[in-house]
A and B are shown apart, each in its own frame.
Chain A
Amino acid sequence: RKEVEQDPGPFNVPEGATVAFNCTYSNSASQSFFWYRQDCRKEPKLLMSVYSSGNEDGRFTAQLNRASQYISLLIRDSKLSDSATYLCVVRGGGNKLTFGTGTQLKVEL
């Protein structure tokens, strides 16, 4: 089993739609959680951290369920500019960051 698993997609959605991505992780001792965004052939950049109580940043909402070991990202009112690959990232033992393979989102007119 991979340490961090994501549905690779692609998710093709119309502009204005709401889309949700899930991610599961295998190490119950994982300490912190993040969503990164990666545009084609570019470096990953932090989208948002994920806190136990859930957190929101504009159109983006992240949730963490430690009991079930999954993380979610909800994007409301999708924009064309949201088209990218979304990487679920977990920091575990040794302070290492482990990346999921990413979920590709395509927002269409």
Chain B
Amino acid sequence: DADVTQTPRNRITKTGKRIMLECSQTKGHDRMYWYRQDPGLGLRLIYYSFDVKDINKGEISDGYSVSRQAQAKFSLSLESAIPNQTALYFCATSAGGVNTEAFFGQGTRLTVV
């Protein structure tokens, strides 16, 4: 089983629909992140959380919200999906410390039509 699990892996949704992407991890890490990846733009940080009570906006948080339900769970919501939110979404986790590695989930490919 993967250490970082994302569900769903693929999703097609209609403009205006609410959708939630879920992430769970078995690494025991406090820190969790949501990124989106677009061709030519690399990975961009949407939201991050350093513990259950700590939520922070990343560089592209508009149109997204998150919930840290437990240390192991961090979900990303699109309240009203729009086509330019079509992208590959990654959840990641890391331990504390500056030299620690980030571990990624397998990604969720989201298409908004």
Tell me how many residues of B have a C-beta within 8 Å of chain A.
27
In the complex, A78 Cα to B33 Cα: how many Å?
33
In the complex, what residues of B have CB within 8 A of residue A8's CB?
40
Beyond A43-B104, A94-B56, A96-B58, whether A101 also contacts B98 by CB under 8 A is no
Query: Does B41 contact A32, Cβ atoms closer than 8 Å?
Result: no
Classify the secondary structure of B's interface with A. Answer: strand
Contact with A along B40-75 (1 / 0, CB 8 A): 111111001010000010100000000000000000
Mind listing 22 A-B residue pairs with CB under 8 Å? A8-B40, A31-B98, A32-B98, A41-B88, A42-B106, A42-B107, A43-B106, A44-B90, A45-B104, A49-B101, A87-B42, A95-B50, A95-B96, A95-B98, A96-B58, A97-B33, A97-B94, A98-B45, A99-B35, A100-B42, A101-B40, A101-B42
